[in-house]
Structure 1
Amino acid sequence: MLDIIKKASLSAVGSTNPMAVLYGTVTSVHPLEVNVDQRFSLTEDFLVIGESMTEYKLNIGGAEYYIRRGLETGDTVLLIRYQGGQTYLVLDRLVKSS
């Protein structure tokens, strides 16, 4: 009986599309578009961008200093798909180690 309950609960969770971690490549910045695993593309309507992925610069004494750069075409990003699969969080930009 316990095994039947376990199987039923696992089946219910699996059918709701729990969150998933995916990789994507930025193919366009304006408007934002990310290609996921070379399978499908997401437009900005489906993407949530964290503040750390946006451009931030300061103007000090007439000089402009970049604190962080925004997303650029060709960037590889780490995505988290929310449960249900309609919204994706751009969690971070991935860099290649040397």
Structure 2
Amino acid sequence: MSVSRMLDVIKKASLGAVDAGQPLAVLFGTVVSVRPLEVSVDERFLLPEELLLVPESMRRQELTLSGQKVVIRDGLYAGDRLLLLRIQGGGQFIVLDRVVSP
């Protein structure tokens, strides 16, 4: 998902939340599996891949050079802690970033 598309989704969600009187919710989740992608939210419920909007920057990117695969950017791993934004109504969740411990 491109940054401009993600910003459009956030803007629309924000406007809808204001109109409905319900603010967006920021949640924490943990990646349970990568294929298929599943995220556990506060150990209360499990989000399947269909409900998650994952930005391109959070996806694995590889390049093949001289017949060898080179990892340009790591994707998500099981156990990763994530910062999530719930879109009004709870129908979709935007993965904002990984959460790292100091």
Identity across the alignment (%): 51
- Give distance in 2, aligned partners of 1:16 and 1:68: 39
Q: 1:88 aligns with which of 75, 79, 93?
A: 93
Tell me how far 1:60 sits from its aligned partner. Answer: 2.4
1:60 is aligned to 65
On the 8 A contact 1:78/1:94 being kept in 2, the answer is: yes
Tell me how far 1:17 sits from its aligned partner. Answer: 3.3
Q: 1:46 aligns with which of 40, 43, 51?
A: 51
User: Does 1:24 find its partner at 2:49?
Assistant: no
For the pair shown, which has the larger CA radius of gyration, 1 or 2?
1
- The two structures have a TM-score, normalised by structure 1, of 0.76
Instruction: Please give the root-mean-square deviation of Cα atoms over the aligned residues, in Å.
Output: 2.1
Amino acid at match of 2:44: R
Structure 1 unmatched ranges of 5 or more: 1-12
Tell me how far 1:62 sits from its aligned partner. Answer: 3.4
Matched length: 86
On the 8 A contact 1:23/1:36 being kept in 2, the answer is: yes
Q: Deviations over 1:36-82 (max 9, x none)?
A: 01111111121111101100122223343212111111111110001
1:76 is aligned to 81
User: Does 1:35 find its partner at 2:40?
Assistant: yes
Greater helix content: 2
